[in-house]
Amino acid sequence: MEILNARRKKNQKCDKTFLQYVFTCNGNDGVEKPLCLICNETLAAVNMKPSKLKTNFSTNHADYSNKPLEYLERLLKSSTKHKHFTEKHFTVN
């Protein structure tokens, strides 16, 4: 029984291949969750499987399917810069 529970708790790790589905990882409290770079929606940790990310991408953002990988990398870099700027200049009470 303990072995089954250990397998269920095993989380998928963030992978660079997630970028092709326009997702990156957002980690809070040691739990990585997929973050959409287009709409900034954070999905549940159980959606860290490439098949689920691909389904979400094709359902919600199909118009980005023809974009080159370089475009997606620039989108990621822009998102990261924006996050760091926000964290540096604003505080949440």
Structural domain range at position 83: 2-89
Q: Report whether pLDDT(89) > 70.
A: no
3-state secondary structure 66-80: CCCHHHHHHHHHHHH
Q: Which of 10-19, 33-42, 61-70, 80-89 has the least mean pLDDT?
A: 80-89
β-partners of residue 85 are none
Residue 42 has phi, psi (to 5 degrees) of -100, 125
User: Which residue would you say has higher pLDDT here, 72 or 90?
Assistant: 72
Q: How many domains in the chain? A: 1
Output the pTM of the full model.
0.64
